[in-house]
């Protein structure tokens, strides 16, 4: 989390997410979870120091005193999560929370011959992301979004997706270069559809013109979904162009791809000499382009808007930045770009407002994460203005539960992009329970909720009984 003040003394809480990292499993290159937490804490500490030393460069300032305290790994990963919804209250303890809040992480390539079976490696990722509490209870590490790997050309690719999703993986990474598969191929499209069924995103390694090919694959996938009468999967299809800038900071086809409502880009490999070009082009991504996506262009604006709003909460005011996510490729060499990029984004040179910054730093990536909250009527609410209250609450949950399963983030896009609340789901004697945590600062009903759990989709008041918009789409394409 990065807490800053702007030039009007307004405090901003930026939830920080790295959308591209590699975890160390089975001897593959990567970092251990605790290494991520401490490394990123130190990077943010350095940036904060620079912000105080070079006040004329930075738009934002950090007027709080930093103590020596370095986050304790277990505390940070579990108990301290409540602080995500307590921006102002935590200023006095900020040393403890400074750093990156979440990491999207996946294994590196396995050296096996093609096609590759990643199932064993994926399972190792899940194991590594299970933490033992001081009382030796296993809990899912809530700071990490573990992604699996899948080679779409493997005959068990769909099983790899299914078993990974069942284990709680939050997405899948595909690497067209090292697994030498064609991006716009039947195999890839089948994997994309399966991922959409699980409501989880795909991230692709891309370089040169691969982003353009991925755009074509997404368009074709949507056309197929329409033909197959699986229209409900369209807003669950979430595709991230990894290393987006490697496709060319001045490549109009990259920005065309990013304007598609199902496509996002991640910033690793962006070089300082291209910052201005990249963000000038990115700012041109227009909300209106959403309505031109193939298969959907014949629908009314309202219908398209509502369909995508349910899963992505798009707002016309910051559509461009809600397509871009911060990423580093740690611990691979593009990660050297991390500090200069953070510095640039916080400087006067960055051509966006605080919502754009919040999107790029974390909100864009968080919106893509699947939700796992138990959606029964038993979601209990806890609202408080005090961090301590929720820390005690977290202890109670740990005490009561056999396992903490996951976290769902409630995100608001308008008027500002920010985290509005969290839902923690845990297991009590084999029964799932979820607790909704909101801060006193947002005690009015949160507006523009992202409903991540699309199982509620058919029952939403916008589409009673799942009817309405999809019939419209069918009518228009037949
Ligand atoms: Zn990578």
Cα of 28 vs centre of ligand 1, distance in Å, is 12
Instruction: Judge if 83 and 187 occupy the same domain.
Output: yes
- State residue 414's pLDDT score: 77
pLDDT digits (tens, 9 = 90+) for 280-323: 999 999 999 988 887 777 778 888 888 888 788 898 889 999 99
Number of structural domains (the chain) is: 2
Distance (Å) of CA 264 to CA 175, 206, 224, 326, 448: 16, 12, 20, 11, 20
Instruction: Judge if 80 and 210 occupy the same domain.
Output: yes
Cα(198)–Cα(146) distance, integer angstroms? 15
Structural domain includes residue 402: yes
Domain end (from 317, 344, 367): 367
- State residue 87's pLDDT score: 53
Cα of 21 vs centre of ligand 1, distance in Å, is 6
Give residue 37's pLDDT band: very low, low, confident or very high (50, 70, 90): very high
Distance (Å) of CA 429 to CA 145, 376, 396: 25, 17, 15
Which tokens go with 328?
Answer: 């580093």
Instruction: Judge if 390 and 291 occupy the same domain.
Output: no
Q: What average pLDDT does range 256-284 have in this prediction?
A: 97
Of 211, 11, 165, residue with least CA distance to 91: 11
Cα of 444 vs centre of ligand 1, distance in Å, is 41
Could you tell me which residue, 4 or 108, shows the higher pLDDT? Answer: 108
Q: What is the DSSP letter of 328?
A: -
Cβ atoms 122, 148 nearer than 8 A: yes
Give residue 451's pLDDT band: very low, low, confident or very high (50, 70, 90): very low
The percentage of residues in the chain with a pLDDT greater than 70, rounded to a whole number, is: 86
Cα of 205 vs centre of ligand 1, distance in Å, is 7
Give residue 389's pLDDT band: very low, low, confident or very high (50, 70, 90): low
Domain coverage including residue 460: 380-466
Instruction: Judge if 267 and 385 occupy the same domain.
Output: no
CATH number for position 308: 3.20.20.140
Q: What average pLDDT does range 237-249 have in this prediction?
A: 98
SS3 content of the chain, % helix, strand, coil (to 5): 45, 20, 40
Could you tell me which residue, 347 or 137, shows the higher pLDDT? Answer: 347
Give residue 375's pLDDT band: very low, low, confident or very high (50, 70, 90): low
Per-residue pLDDT at 461 exceeds 50: no
Please report which residue ranges of 349-439 form alpha helices under DSSP H.
Answer: 354-358, 364-367, 387-400
Instruction: Judge if 396 and 327 occupy the same domain.
Output: no
Per-residue pLDDT at 477 exceeds 50: no
Cα of 454 vs centre of ligand 1, distance in Å, is 29
Cα of 149 vs centre of ligand 1, distance in Å, is 12
Of 32, 58, 30, 104, residue with least CA distance to 266: 104
Kind and range of the H or E element at 411? strand 403-412
The percentage of residues in the chain with a pLDDT greater than 90, rounded to a whole number, is: 57
Cα of 330 vs centre of ligand 1, distance in Å, is 7
Cα of 20 vs centre of ligand 1, distance in Å, is 6
Structural domain includes residue 471: no
Could you tell me which residue, 8 or 378, shows the higher pLDDT? Answer: 8
Give residue 275's pLDDT band: very low, low, confident or very high (50, 70, 90): very high
Least confident of 145-149, 247-251, 427-431, 440-444: 440-444
Cα of 76 vs centre of ligand 1, distance in Å, is 25
Cα of 233 vs centre of ligand 1, distance in Å, is 27
Coil, strand or helix at 464 = helix
Cα of 240 vs centre of ligand 1, distance in Å, is 13
Cα of 258 vs centre of ligand 1, distance in Å, is 19
Cα of 106 vs centre of ligand 1, distance in Å, is 8
- State residue 306's pLDDT score: 81
Structural domain includes residue 474: no
Instruction: Judge if 306 and 425 occupy the same domain.
Output: no
Query: Tokens 């880009």 correspond to what residue?
Result: 265
Give residue 158's pLDDT band: very low, low, confident or very high (50, 70, 90): very high
Structural domain includes residue 111: yes
Give residue 189's pLDDT band: very low, low, confident or very high (50, 70, 90): very high
Per-residue pLDDT at 334 exceeds 60: yes
Cα of 421 vs centre of ligand 1, distance in Å, is 30
Cα(213)–Cα(182) distance, integer angstroms? 9
Instruction: Judge if 133 and 237 occupy the same domain.
Output: yes
- State residue 386's pLDDT score: 56
Per-residue pLDDT at 47 exceeds 60: yes
Domain end (from 367, 394, 412): 367
- State residue 226's pLDDT score: 85
Instruction: Judge if 393 and 321 occupy the same domain.
Output: no
Distance (Å) of CA 31 to CA 34, 37, 104, 274, 430: 8, 10, 12, 28, 32
Cα of 70 vs centre of ligand 1, distance in Å, is 27
Distance (Å) of CA 328 to CA 163, 195, 266, 282, 418: 28, 24, 8, 18, 22
Cβ atoms 357, 365 nearer than 8 A: no
- State residue 454's pLDDT score: 29
Instruction: Judge if 361 and 295 occupy the same domain.
Output: yes
Structural domain includes residue 236: yes
Cα of 168 vs centre of ligand 1, distance in Å, is 21
Domain end (from 367, 389, 404): 367
Q: What is the DSSP letter of 404?
A: E
Instruction: Judge if 41 and 128 occupy the same domain.
Output: yes
Of 437, 430, 424, 372, residue with least CA distance to 398: 424
Task: Quote the mean pLDDT of the chain.
Answer: 85
Structural domain includes residue 192: yes
Distance (Å) of CA 162 to CA 17, 30, 369, 402: 25, 25, 16, 25
Structural domain includes residue 300: yes
Give residue 68's pLDDT band: very low, low, confident or very high (50, 70, 90): confident
Instruction: Judge if 300 and 181 occupy the same domain.
Output: yes
- State residue 377's pLDDT score: 45
Structural domain includes residue 403: yes
Cβ atoms 112, 127 nearer than 8 A: no
Instruction: Judge if 306 and 335 occupy the same domain.
Output: yes
- State residue 323's pLDDT score: 97
């Amino acid at each position: 989390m990065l807490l800053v003040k702007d030039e009007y003394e307004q405090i901003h809480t930026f939830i920080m997410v790295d959308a591209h990292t590699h975890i160390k499993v089975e001897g593959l290159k990567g970092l251990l979870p605790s290494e991520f937490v401490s490394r990123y804490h130190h990077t943010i500490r350095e940036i904060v120091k620079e912000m105080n030393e070079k006040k004329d460069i930075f738009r934002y300032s950090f007027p709080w005193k930093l103590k020596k305290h370095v986050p304790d790994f277990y505390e940070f990963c579990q108990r301290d999560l409540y602080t995500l919804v307590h921006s102002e209250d935590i200023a006095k303890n900020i040393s403890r929370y400074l750093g990156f809040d979440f990491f999207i992480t996946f294994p590196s390539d396995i050296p096996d011959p093609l096609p590759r079976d990643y199932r064993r490696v994926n399972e190792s990722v899940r194991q590594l992301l299970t933490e033992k509490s001081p009382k030796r209870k296993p809990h899912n590490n809530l700071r990490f979004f573990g992604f699996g790997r899948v080679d779409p050309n493997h005959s068990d690719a769909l099983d790899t997706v299914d078993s990974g999703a069942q284990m709680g993986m939050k997405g899948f990474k595909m690497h067209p270069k090292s697994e030498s598969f064609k991006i716009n191929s039947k195999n890839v499209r089948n994997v994309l559809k399966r991922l959409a069924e699980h409501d989880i995103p795909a991230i692709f390694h891309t370089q040169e013109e691969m982003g353009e090919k991925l755009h074509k694959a997404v368009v074709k996938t949507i056309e197929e979904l329409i033909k197959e009468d699986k229209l409900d999967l369209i807003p669950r299809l979430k595709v991230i162009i990894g290393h987006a800038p490697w496709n060319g900071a001045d490549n109009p086809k990259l920005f065309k791809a990013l304007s598609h409502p199902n496509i996002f880009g991640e910033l690793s490999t962006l070089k300082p000499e291209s910052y201005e070009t990249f963000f000038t082009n990115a700012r041109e991504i227009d909300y209106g382009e959403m309505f031109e996506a193939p298969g959907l262009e014949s629908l009314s604006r309202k219908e398209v808007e509502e369909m995508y709003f349910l899963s992505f909460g798009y707002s016309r005011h910051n559509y461009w930045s809600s397509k871009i996510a911060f990423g580093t490729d740690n611990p691979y060499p593009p990660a050297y770009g991390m500090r200069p990029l953070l510095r640039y984004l916080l400087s006067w040179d960055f051509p966006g407002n605080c919502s754009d910054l919040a999107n790029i730093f974390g909100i864009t990536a968080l919106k893509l994460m699947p939700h796992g909250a138990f959606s029964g009527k038993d979601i209990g609410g806890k609202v408080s203005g005090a961090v301590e209250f929720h820390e005690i609450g977290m202890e109670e949950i740990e005490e009561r539960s056999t396992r903490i399963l996951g976290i769902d983030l409630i995100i608001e896009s308008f008027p500002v992009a920010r985290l509005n609340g969290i839902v923690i789901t845990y297991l009590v004697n084999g029964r799932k329970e979820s607790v909704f945590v909101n801060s006193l600062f947002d005690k009015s009903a949160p507006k523009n909720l992202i409903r991540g759990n699309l199982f509620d989709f058919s029952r939403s008041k916008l589409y009673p009984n799942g009817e309405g918009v999809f019939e419209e789409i069918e009518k228009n394409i037949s």
